[in-house]
Structure 1
Amino acid sequence: MGLKEQINEDMKTAMRAKDSAKLSAIRLLTAAMKQKEVDERIEITDAVVLAIVEKMIKQRKDSITQFEAGGRTDLADKERFELDVLSVYMPAQLTPEEIEAAVAATVARIGAAGPQDMGKVMGALKGELAGKADMTVVSAKVKAALSPR
């Protein structure tokens, strides 16, 4: 079963269980998926669904930070719940050691020599690590690997 089908099944399960909070979070995700399909006139793949989920997770993390800074713990808690629901659809995250190994392998494969090659390395890693690692962490590791010692 693909990711899109899994999400639809989870939505039906939440409806049957009358879990309105989970249902609301899943409906936000399905609405974003349908919007993508309509806007681009495509049938979305698992990779596209992962990109949508990743974007929504980033939005939730930013919202949590803002709500906590504003003293709105009630809204921050709601965003945390949605974050937990969305995180279920992401693949297992790589450890820092696995990210470093992937960065080192890609740098060697491309033959990157310095900071000027960061775009090439990040481009190669983006497809390989999409959804499996936070790309800001990957970017920092690439920068460290390519900086002169």
Structure 2
Amino acid sequence: MSLLKARITDDMKAAMRAGEKDRLGVIRLILAALKQREVDERIELDDAQVLGILEKMLKQRRDSIEQYTAANREDLAAVERAEVEVIQTYLPTPLSSAELEAIVSKAIADTGATSAREMGKVIGLVKPQVTGRADMGQVSELIKARLA
């Protein structure tokens, strides 16, 4: 079992003991998503795959917050924000913009990319380094701006 998955399972037990119903609900959602992927693909997830699932869940919550806010449903947006906070506790600390700039610059230099057509090469190098630590949408915008 991956260390991250074990930590999430331990946190579920702690939330049960402490009677933290909201936190427990989010942790159960996370574990259900992990279990679903393991069953579907018949694999044991490693930490990188768990981070990928957590990132996807985080993106879904952020999209929902935007939609709820646009529809003036602050009650539902607040629930999603609470879920985002719990999910973020399992992600590594985010990269600063300077660190992200440095990673992108190095990847561009390593690949020798000069145009937006070569963006895939750069993303291929950058993605493993920033998984769980940066929003890939922002990363791709940064790369696109650099190669334009």
Normalised by the length of structure 1, the TM-score is 0.95
Q: Which residue of 2 aligns with 1:118?
A: 119
Deviations 1:55-98 (A, max 9, x none): 00011111111111222111111111011000000111111111
Which runs of structure 1 show a deviation greater than 2 angstroms over 4 or more consecutive aligned residues? none
One-letter identity of the residue aligned with 1:129: V
Q: Which residue of 2 aligns with 1:13?
A: 14
5+ residue gaps, structure 2, are none
Within 2, Cα distance between the matches of 1:77 and 1:14?
20
Identity %: 50
Within 2, Cα distance between the matches of 1:10 and 1:22?
9
Q: Which moved more, 1:24-33 or 1:109-118?
A: 109-118
5+ residue gaps, structure 1, are none
2:64 aligned with 1:63, yes or no?
yes
CA RMSD of superposed structures (Å): 1.0
One-letter identity of the residue aligned with 2:105: A
Within 2, Cα distance between the matches of 1:80 and 1:115?
35
Within 2, Cα distance between the matches of 1:60 and 1:140?
21
Task: Count residues with an aligned counterpart.
Answer: 147
Q: Which residue of 2 aligns with 1:108?
A: 109
Within 2, Cα distance between the matches of 1:40 and 1:31?
14
Normalised by the length of structure 2, the TM-score is 0.96
Alpha-carbon offset, residue 52 of structure 1:
0.6
Q: Which residue of 2 aligns with 1:42?
A: 43
Q: Which residue of 2 aligns with 1:28?
A: 29
